[in-house]
Amino acid sequence: MTQPSALTPAVSETGDPLLLTPGPLTTSRTVKAAMMHDWGSRDARFISINHAVLAQLAEIVHGEGAYVTVPVQGSGSFAVEAMLTSFVPRAGKVLLLINGAYGLRAKRMLDIAGRETVVYASAEDTPPDLAQVEALLRQTPSITHVFAVHCETTSGILNPVAEIGALAAKYKKSFLLDAMSAFGAVPLNAPALQADAVTASSNKCLEGVPGLSFVVCRREALAATQGNATTLVLDLLDQWRNFESTGQYRFTPPTHVIAALHQALDEFAAEGGVEGRGGRYRNNCRILIEGMTALGFEPLLKDGLQAPIIVTFRMPKHPRFDFQHFYDGLKTRGFVIYPGKLTVAESFRIGCIGRIHETEMRGLIAAVHDVLKEMEITGVADAVRS
């Protein structure tokens, strides 16, 4: 593939613009093609596909044996809400480690469910201070659960989940993790973290299509959630029991989405699993940061904090830099980026995940250069930052 110019926009294998966003993402042609069938929910082939998918999802976080995957129909937030409302009992109290929109969303879910919370918030570009987390755990024995976000997609920051998990275990708290945007790309070992539940979805680093979310649950912890649920549809234990007894979903499964995820997991394994997928994303991320930095853009996060998932760039202060023009110019060239939603700085985001390789990333940098020229921002570095 040659580098795209304004006349030949970059496209996915099916001719669509490339989605450099937090999701949904660009998927392969073969993943989309896997949806060209109509299965009944009781079809033996569908049941076996679903069974294989659930087993593979648990294996990605080394959960085989002690953990089970409970799927939840819907986007990732459905599984987060299912996890929080199924695992936290009425008398529970959750320590929430918040440094972005997804942590805040978890807080809203618990508020609505009437569950007590203790919030430890840090700035969007700052991981939690572990000494302060430990102090909170020591001082507040009534805390029953700790909730953290692995990669906070709001900024792209990687939170120190191994250390947080170790603290939760030390103080005998149940650890619940939103690993949505890192699952499959950043190594995660649920038993080593002593996590009771880890949640993610079909359409981020697994490169499936949106519509299925899931919670990898420690079997014993899940069994102990009887009576906690606040809704019928998000009751993980009830959902799980139905699988145990019938192999089927309680309510209409997104059959096409699950078939696509099955294909996506085959492609994930063929790429070398977490190592291969994570390696491609790290390379994408490196090309993105190097290329953008050379053009004068400034990433929000320091190197050691950046997950290879999505990169936040500070909004340039150059008088001729117009974000709408920038966004539209990239869209015309086949690249869809994402506005920022930070409170610490004006920003925009560019994703490294989905069916995107080195060629497309280099094409993006060429397109950024092109759009800057269109805005008559000719120089690099200082011209943009000034």
The DSSP symbol for 327 reads: H
Q: Quick one: 68 or 310, whose CB is closer to ligand PLP?
A: 310
Q: Which stretch binds ligand PLP (CB under 6 A): 6-14, 69-77, 156-164, 349-357?
A: 69-77
Q: How long a stretch of residues is the chain?
A: 386
Q: Quick one: 102 or 338, whose CB is closer to ligand PLP?
A: 102
Q: Do 21 and 312 form a contact (C-beta atoms < 8 A)?
A: no
The correct pick among 23, 299, 308, 354 for binding ligand PLP (CB under 6 A) is 23
The tokens describing 180, both together, are 């949505």
Site string for ligand PLP, 290-329 (x = CB under 6 A): ----------------------------------------
Q: Which stretch binds ligand PLP (CB under 6 A): 54-62, 174-182, 220-228, 312-320?
A: 174-182
Q: Is 153 in the site for ligand PLP (CB under 6 A)?
A: yes
Q: Quick one: 146 or 295, whose CB is closer to ligand PLP?
A: 146
Rounded least distance, CB 97 to ligand PLP, Å: 12
The DSSP symbol for 194 reads: T
Q: Is 83 in the site for ligand PLP (CB under 6 A)?
A: no
Q: Determine the residue with CB nearest ligand PLP.
A: 76
Q: Quick check: helix, strand or coil at residue 151?
A: strand
The tokens describing 47, both together, are 């049941």
Rounded least distance, CB 148 to ligand PLP, Å: 10
Using a CB cutoff of 8 Å and minimum separation of 24, what contacts does 249-254 make? 249/41, 249/50, 249/71, 249/73, 251/73, 252/41, 252/73, 253/41, 253/46, 253/50, 253/71, 253/73, 254/73, 254/211, 254/212
| Dihedral sign of CA atoms 233, 235, 241, 244 in order | positive
Tokens 């979805």 belong to 201
Rounded least distance, CB 64 to ligand PLP, Å: 24
The correct pick among 25, 149, 206, 258 for binding ligand PLP (CB under 6 A) is 149
Give residue 145's Cα distance to chain centre.
Answer: 21
Q: Quick one: 58 or 180, whose CB is closer to ligand PLP?
A: 180
Give residue 287's Cα distance to chain centre.
Answer: 21
Q: Which stretch binds ligand PLP (CB under 6 A): 48-56, 75-83, 187-195, 321-329?
A: 75-83
The correct pick among 77, 86, 225, 284 for binding ligand PLP (CB under 6 A) is 77
Cα separation, 274 vs 271, in Å, equals 9
Q: Quick check: helix, strand or coil at residue 13?
A: coil
Phi first, then psi: give them for residue 63, nearest 5 degrees: -95, 5
Applying the rule CB under 6 A, the residues between 181 and 200 that interact with ligand PLP are 181
H-helix or E-strand spanning residue 97:
strand 93-98
Q: Quick one: 153 or 228, whose CB is closer to ligand PLP?
A: 153
Q: Is 80 in the site for ligand PLP (CB under 6 A)?
A: yes
Q: Which residues lie below 8 Å from residue 189, measured CB to CB, with a gap of 6+? A: 61, 62
Q: Quick one: 104 or 169, whose CB is closer to ligand PLP?
A: 104
Q: Is 75 in the site for ligand PLP (CB under 6 A)?
A: yes
Applying the rule CB under 6 A, the residues between 96 and 115 that interact with ligand PLP are 102
Cα separation, 287 vs 359, in Å, equals 10
Q: Quick one: 167 or 307, whose CB is closer to ligand PLP?
A: 307
Q: Which residues bind ligand PLP (CB under 6 A)?
A: 22-23, 75-77, 80, 102, 149, 153, 178, 180-181, 201
